[in-house]
Amino acid sequence: MKFWSCCQRKTTEFDSFLEQEGCTSGRHNWTKENTLPETVKVNCNGVLLTVFFVYDAGKAQYDRSFNLQGIVDPSGSRVNLTATKMEIVLKKAEARAWSALETHPPAKPDEEKEKVES
Return the CATH number at 61: 2.60.40.790
What residue numbers bound the domain in which 19 lies?
1-25
Q: What percent of the chain has pLDDT over 70?
A: 67
> DSSP state, 15?
H
Residues 42 and 97 both lie in one domain: yes
Give me the tens of pLDDT residue by residue for the chain, a chain 118 residues long.
555 555 666 777 777 767 766 565 555 566 667 788 899 999 999 999 999 999 888 899 999 999 999 999 999 999 988 877 888 999 999 888 888 888 876 666 665 555 555 5
Own/partner pairs for 71-76, CB < 8 Å, 24+ apart?
71/46, 71/47, 72/44, 72/46, 72/47, 73/46, 74/44, 74/45, 74/46
The pTM (predicted TM-score) of the whole model is 0.61
Answer yes or no: is 110 within a domain: no
**62-88 tens-digit pLDDT:** 999 999 999 999 999 999 888 778 889
> Residue 87 is inside which H or E element, if any?
strand 86-89
Half-sphere exposure of 44 (CA within 13 A, CB side): 23
Dist. CA 45–CA 54, nearest whole Å: 22
Question: How many domains is the chain partitioned into structurally?
Answer: 2
Residues 97 and 77 both lie in one domain: yes
Answer yes or no: is 116 within a domain: no
| Contact (CB, 8 A) for 45 and 66 | no
Answer yes or no: is 114 within a domain: no
> DSSP state, 46?
S
What pLDDT score was predicted for residue 42? 94
